[in-house]
């Protein structure tokens, strides 16, 4: 009887194991990664007075809005002016999520969240 030591498994075999994972499982893993990133930044934003109730907003809702920011280019963004720290938190969140963005995208998302909290 041959016993294979775990250390004898090659890197190629490890990569092949991942290739066998169904697409829907990979999509769920990516979704969970994104939700965890949003949860992390929600906890940081919770310390900001304007976002004190952000835990009442579902992280899936925020992810959906990020994915559809192109639909909100005409939103009124005059209600909330971000501090530098708030802007950087949103910027860092977009970076970790690996989504492309511009200054306007950050302002739109912040105002969507703010409107959800207070309107």
CB atoms within 10 A of CB 72: 15
Closest CA relative to residue 6, chosen from 17, 21, 26? 17
Domain spans of the chain, in order of start: 10-118
HSE toward the beta carbon, residue 11, CA cutoff 13 A: 0
pLDDT in tens, 58-80: 999 999 999 999 888 766 676 78
pLDDT in tens, 9-47: 455 555 556 668 899 999 999 999 999 999 999 999 999
* Two structure tokens written together for 57: 């907003």
Name the 3-class secondary structure at 99: coil
Distance (Å, whole) CA 62 – CA 66: 6
Distances (CA, A) of 3 to 12, 14, 32, 74: 20, 18, 36, 64
pLDDT in tens, 71-113: 887 666 767 899 999 999 999 999 999 999 999 899 999 999 9
């Amino acid at each position: 009887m041959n016993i294979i030591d775990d250390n004898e498994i090659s890197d190629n075999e490890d990569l092949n194991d991942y290739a066998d994972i169904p697409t829907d499982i990979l999509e769920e893993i990516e979704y969970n990664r994104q939700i965890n990133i949003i949860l992390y930044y929600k906890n940081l934003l919770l310390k900001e007075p304007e976002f004190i109730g952000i835990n009442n907003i579902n992280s899936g809702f925020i992810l959906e809005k990020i994915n559809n920011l192109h639909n909100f280019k005409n939103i009124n963004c005059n209600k909330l002016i971000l501090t530098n720290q708030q802007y950087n938190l949103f910027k860092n969140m977009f970076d970790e999520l690996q989504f492309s963005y511009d200054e306007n995208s950050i302002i739109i998302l912040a105002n969507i969240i703010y409107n959800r909290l207070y309107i």
